[in-house]
Structure 1
Amino acid sequence: MPEIGQGEPEFAQLGRISNLTQQSGNYRFQFVPDLNVTPLPLAKMRADAERWGLHEFEFYRTHWAVKDVDAYAAMWGTVASSQMPGPKAFRLPTDQLQTDDLVAVMMPFDAKFTPVYQALREAASEAGMRCQRADDIWKNEHILDDVLELIWTARVVVSDLTDRNANVFYETGIAHTIGRDVVLTTQSIEHVPFDLRSIRALTYFPNHEGLIALKTALKAKLESLTAHSRL
């Protein structure tokens, strides 16, 4: 973002750093803007300065600063409060930060899925990540609040659509809406709703060989997603 009052377009851009190199004590890099994010007016950035971890003087000084803030979470809160209608049935935990190694699993709470969840956990562990389901935690009084926090803070959401569970469909829609990477799994492609058929799903058999294949496929997918984010 530029300084205020310097004659430049007064908008902030969200993006990532690539090609970081050190040359004679200096650092060179390329800033790659996220074209999916509309530039944010500095007036709005200033109004939400606390959310971004910014101080007043920073809007009038050319400098670099590193903030302990999830930029996408801050951006969502800024946009949601001004440009987009927010959800009415629940509150998104925008004060929480996304966790780079967290895989959130959405699946029916049924004992027959225990071996499936174990396969997913092993896949995540081998990919250098960790898995959680809402029943692994109890931070809030309402389970939906735990589910929302889990989806919000996750790097990747795995949704098992087996048996057409309504709760899983609802949670998958939330994950898609807030822009999480979602990996669909199912024991039958017939359980995948028509609207999601265009998205590839990992299909598996719930036997020993099938779960091993699921673990291998999910591990590869997680490694691909996290490698892409580091580019």
Structure 2
Amino acid sequence: MFNVIMRHYDWNDQTASMDLRRMFEHTDEGVAAQFQDGNFPALDRLMRLPCLFIPEGIGDEICRVGTVTSARITNGEVRFEYTLDPDVPPMQNSTLHAQKGRLDMDRDRHNFDWHRNHWAVKDIDLYRILFRSVNPRRQRPSVFNIPEHERIEAQLMSVMMPFDAGFASVYAAIQEAGVACNLLTRRADEIWEAPGIIQDVVSLIDRARIVVCDLTGRNPNVFYEAGIAHTLGREVIIITQSEHDVPFDLRHLRHIRYLNNNEGRVALRQALQARIATILGH
């Protein structure tokens, strides 16, 4: 079984509420009876179930999977806190809507159960449906390994740039921008987790919330790493000392141009900090 809590979400604030009158809408009577104590929902039993946190709509709205960690009834509302499952990446409502029959979310032909705040309980194995139908395994590369499901570290920013002493001050400026936005900044030469450096590079990109790629000098390794970051769907910030170093296929993307001197690195730090803050929604 699993909970469906449909409402608006601010994913940075993992507290929410639900009108008590909306409890067990779109839920079989027999299932609802298992989670009631008299006239009130049995919150302790509901909290044992996984939960689909989903905003209203059947389009590109973002939904998540997790659990309700605490709940109480106050002034006609169920107020609750929740945590998200890091092993299940964000999904779109449209993806779930395509599987609405398997999820037992097709009770109304007008899709009212997708356009009204409510808390339902479904007698379905949520994870089985997600992993078999909604979130199929991605094709596995042969040159390096990536995990079956993403595990993005929300406070990690990775940097792809030439391993050259001439870039030390540039990297320091990037780190300062990361610190200002409460991000941990890492380059592949700072870690040694795998026998081959390519695996460390890819793992660092795959775990990162943001990837900064310095295309200065048209370094082929950085170009390769930028391609990996884009393929994995990461937020990529391109920086360069010369706009001519940006490949033709990437020139439609915005980039930050900087000068490698004291004034230029200060400007780079400020521009990066502003862009990072926008991506993080600060």
What is the TM-score of this pair, normalised by structure 2? 0.58
Corresponding residue of 1:144? 198
1:93 is displaced (CA, Å) by 3.0
Corresponding residue of 1:38? 95
Corresponding residue of 1:60? 123
In structure 1, the residue corresponding to 2:185 is in which secondary structure?
Answer: strand
Name the CA distance, whole Å, in 1 between partners of 2:220 and 2:93: 30
Match of 1:175 among 229, 244, 248: 229
Name the CA distance, whole Å, in 2 between partners of 1:44 and 1:158: 40
The structure having more radius of gyration, on CA atoms, is 2
Deviation string for 1:110-149 (max 9, x for gaps)? 1101000000000000111110000111111111111111
Q: Is the 8 A contact 1:2 1:62 kept in 2?
A: no
Unaligned 5+ segments in structure 2 are 5-27, 29-51, 55-60, 65-72, 81-89, 104-120
Unaligned 5+ segments in structure 1 are 7-11, 46-57
Deviation string for 1:84-115 (max 9, x for gaps)? x4323222134662111110000011110100
Residues 1:120 and 1:88: Cα distance change in structure 2 (over 3 Å): same
Residues 1:23 and 1:182: Cα distance change in structure 2 (over 3 Å): farther
Q: Is the 8 A contact 1:103 1:155 kept in 2?
A: yes
Q: Which has the higher strand share?
A: 2
Write out aligned runs for 1:181-220 (5 A). 181-220=235-274
Deviation string for 1:138-183 (max 9, x for gaps)? 1111111111110111000000000011111111111111110000
Name the CA distance, whole Å, in 1 between partners of 2:102 and 2:202: 26
Match of 1:165 among 179, 202, 219: 219
Deviation string for 1:27-51 (max 9, x for gaps)? 49xxxx8549734758999xxxxxx
CA RMSD after TM alignment? 3.8
Which amino acid in 1 is paired with 2:182?
G
Count of residue pairs the alignment pairs up:
191
Name the CA distance, whole Å, in 2 between partners of 1:174 and 1:145: 12
In structure 1, the residue corresponding to 2:193 is in which secondary structure?
Answer: coil
Corresponding residue of 1:15? 62
Match of 2:78 among 11, 20, 26: 26
Name the CA distance, whole Å, in 1 between partners of 2:158 and 2:216: 17
Name the CA distance, whole Å, in 2 between partners of 1:226 and 1:26: 29
Q: Which has the higher helix share?
A: 1
Name the CA distance, whole Å, in 1 between partners of 2:217 and 2:91: 37
